[in-house]
Chain A
């Protein structure tokens, strides 16, 4: 019986190591065939920004890994609407992230769902394991 795992990402991608090491847990965790969701709130929404360039900062740019999440059966990425709005961001500012739906002839479907704060609260309440980064 699979458990519902939710990874909550709250930090910007490069100022601290939380985002990178959270992603490492998600990738390893995918092998355990649990019901996985990711949530992006507060500065965590910056992790999904399109056009990330870390050249000047000298960090490894790991943003492409988010695009590969569909290949790891990680298909539910919830982005909090209020966190986007508070930062002047729109869905269009984020990377397009998709997965292939094997039940519909491998049609590409969006993994990112923009949800309101109260809806996200009920998503969190419905989880078995919540890991917060």
Chain B
């Protein structure tokens, strides 16, 4: 089955992104396909490379990047939600005159159309949020 995943909450404050990560990993291990993982609302904070969680805790952003690389996942951060919350790739940083970009490896920034498209293409769309 092809699954689309939507992550609506940021890491650490909510369990939603942990659950989404565990679900995605388990689905892949069971042989399902992941059409796309779309990060919205505070979920875009899963896509920054600048977090430094304590070393005795999980590093959720890094886990997403690693899972993405391992399975060639399409990890998409909503551009409008990302701009509000300070998640920028190099192009966005340049366009808005910011001195740094912070998008995590394996993530890309794109529009909300990618969420709708994932809903159309996937067999099931699963939302993780508050």
Q: Which residues of A contact B68 (CB under 8 A)?
A: none
Closest to B85 in A: A17
How many angstroms between the C-alpha atoms of A24 and B26 in the bound complex? 31
Q: Which residues of B contact A132 (CB under 8 A)?
A: 127, 129
Q: Is A29 an interface residue (CB 8 A)?
A: yes
Q: Which residues of B contact A130 (CB under 8 A)?
A: 125, 127
With contact pairs A29-B112, A131-B125, A132-B127 given, residues A21 and B119 touching in the complex (Cβ less than 8 Å): no
B82-111 near A? 1/0 per residue, CB < 8 Å: 001000000000000000000000000001
Q: Give the number of residues in B that approach A within 8 Å (Cβ atoms).
A: 19
The listed residue (B41, B81, B113, B119) touching A31 by CB distance below 8 A is: B113
- Residues facing B in A17-34 (CB within 8 A) are 17-18, 21, 24-25, 28-29, 31-32, 34
The listed residue (B6, B113, B125, B130) touching A32 by CB distance below 8 A is: B113
